[in-house]
Amino acid sequence: MEQSSFSSEPLSDREEDYRFLHSMLMEKKLQLLFKIHEQLRRFEKRSPVAVQKHAASLASEMEEELLVQGNSDEVKELLVLVSKPTFKSLLRVHDTVAQRNFEPTLPPIPDDAMEDEEDSVKIVSLVKTKEPLGATIKMDKSTGAIVVARIMRGGSADKSDLIHEGDELKEVNGVSLKHRKPKEILPLMACSQGDIKFKIIPGSSNEDMPFNIKKFFVRALFDYDPVDDPAIPCKDAALAFKRGDILRVVSMKDNTWWQACCLENGSDRAGLIPSKQLQGRRVALQRPKALFKPRLIKTPDDEKEFPVTEDEDYGAISGIHIAGLRRSFRLGRKSSAAMKGVRFRRWSAEAHGTICSPTYIEVIPYHKEPKHRHRLVVLVGPGGVGTTELKRRLVISDPDHYGTSVPYTTREKRKQEREGVDYHFVSVQKFEEDILNQRIVEYGQYKGHYYGTNLDAVHRVMAEGKVCLLDVHPSKIGCVYSFEFKPYVVFVKPPRIEELRLTRRRAKFVCDEENTNQVRIFSEEDFEDMIDLAEIMESLYGHLFDKVIVNGDIAAAFRTLKADLEKMEEAEVQWVPAEWICSTPTKVWRSCSHLTSWI
Ligand SMILES: Nc1ncnc2c1ncn2[C@@H]1O[C@H](COP(=O)(O)OP(=O)(O)OP(=O)(O)O)[C@@H](O)[C@H]1O
In angstroms, what is the span from residue 489 Cα to ligand 1's centroid?
Answer: 18
Is it the case that residue 375 has pLDDT exceeding 90? yes
Label residue 570 exposed, middle or buried (CB < 10 Å: 0-12, 13-18, 19+): exposed
In angstroms, what is the span from residue 396 Cα to ligand 1's centroid?
Answer: 16
Tell me which residue has its CA closest to atom 15 in ligand 1: 386
CB 275 within 8 A of CB 281: no
Provide the angle, in degrees to the nearest 10, between the axes of the packed helices 387-397 and 554-570.
60
In angstroms, what is the span from residue 313 Cα to ligand 1's centroid?
Answer: 13
Is it the case that residue 187 has pLDDT exceeding 80? no
CB 341 within 8 A of CB 300: yes
Residues 409-441 have pLDDT tens digits of 999 999 999 999 999 999 999 999 999 998 999
Within 394-457, strands assigned E span: 402-404, 408-409, 424-425, 440-446, 449-454
What's residue 309's pLDDT?
Answer: 42
Tell me which residue has its CA closest to atom 14 in ligand 1: 384
CA distance 387 to 378: 10
In angstroms, what is the span from residue 578 Cα to ligand 1's centroid?
Answer: 34
In angstroms, what is the span from residue 551 Cα to ligand 1's centroid?
Answer: 9
Looking at the CA of residue 331, tell me the nearest atom of ligand 1.
Answer: 26
> What's the pTM value of the predicted model, to 2 decimals?
0.61
In angstroms, what is the span from residue 390 Cα to ligand 1's centroid?
Answer: 8
Strands 175-176 and 135-139: unpaired
CA distance 62 to 59: 5
Provide the angle, in degrees to the nearest 10, between the axes of the packed helices 85-98 and 73-82.
60
What's residue 202's pLDDT?
Answer: 80
Rounded average pLDDT over 24-31:
87
Probe target for ligand 1 pocket from 388, 473, 519, 561, with the most ligand atoms within 8 Å of CB: 388
Residues 467-507 have pLDDT tens digits of 999 999 999 999 999 989 999 999 999 999 999 999 998 88
Looking at the CA of residue 389, tell me the nearest atom of ligand 1.
Answer: 18
Strands 467-471 and 377-380: parallel
Q: Where is average pLDDT lowest: 3-12, 259-268, 460-469? A: 3-12
What's residue 520's pLDDT?
Answer: 78
Is it the case that residue 348 has pLDDT exceeding 80? no
Rounded average pLDDT over 325-354:
45
Name the architecture of domain 114-201: Roll (2.30)
Q: Which amino acid is at 442?
A: E
- If you count them, how many residues does the chain have? 599
Looking at the CA of residue 390, tell me the nearest atom of ligand 1.
Answer: 18
Provide the angle, in degrees to the nearest 10, between the axes of the packed helices 336-351 and 524-541.
30
Strands 408-409 and 424-425: parallel
**Where does 307-358+371-571 sit in CATH, by number?**
3.40.50.300
CA distance 592 to 599: 12
CB 504 within 8 A of CB 393: no
3-state secondary structure of 370: coil
Probe target for ligand 1 pocket from 308, 314, 389, with the most ligand atoms within 8 Å of CB: 389
Looking at the CA of residue 382, tell me the nearest atom of ligand 1.
Answer: 21
In angstroms, what is the span from residue 558 Cα to ligand 1's centroid?
Answer: 12
Percent of the chain with pLDDT over 90: 32
Rounded average pLDDT over 137-160:
79
Looking at mean pLDDT, say which of 20-34, 123-137, 211-225 comes out highest.
20-34
Rounded average pLDDT over 388-401:
96
Of 394, 378, 401, the C-alpha closest to 562 is 394
Q: Where is average pLDDT lowest: 81-85, 102-106, 469-473, 589-593? A: 589-593
CB 461 within 8 A of CB 405: yes
Helices (H), 191-275: none
Q: Mean pLDDT in the chain?
A: 78
Domain boundaries along the sequence of the chain? 50-102, 114-201, 217-274, 307-358+371-571
Strands 547-550 and 488-493: parallel
CA distance 53 to 116: 30
In angstroms, what is the span from residue 287 Cα to ligand 1's centroid?
Answer: 28
CA distance 55 to 18: 45
Q: Where does the pLDDT of residue 195 fall: very low under 50, low under 70, confident under 90, or very high at 90 and above?
A: confident
What's residue 307's pLDDT?
Answer: 43
Question: Which amino acids bring their CB within 6 angstroms of ligand 1?
Answer: 327, 330, 333-334, 381, 383-389, 503-504, 507-509, 551, 554, 557
- Phi, psi at residue 450, to the nearest 5°? -85, 145
Neighbouring residues of 557: CB distance < 8 A, sequence distance ≥ 6:
386, 390, 492, 549, 550, 551
Of 401, 377, 324, the C-alpha closest to 547 is 377
**Where does 217-274 sit in CATH, by number?**
2.30.30.40
CA distance 331 to 511: 9
Strands 402-404 and 467-471: parallel
CB 299 within 8 A of CB 344: yes
Strands 408-409 and 402-404: unpaired
Rounded average pLDDT over 233-245:
89
CB 459 within 8 A of CB 374: no
Q: Where does the pLDDT of residue 104 fall: very low under 50, low under 70, confident under 90, or very high at 90 and above?
A: low
Is it the case that residue 172 has pLDDT exceeding 60? yes
Residues 45-88 have pLDDT tens digits of 887 778 888 888 888 888 877 777 667 888 888 888 888 888 88
Residues 557-573 have pLDDT tens digits of 999 999 999 999 998 88
Is it the case that residue 292 has pLDDT exceeding 80? no
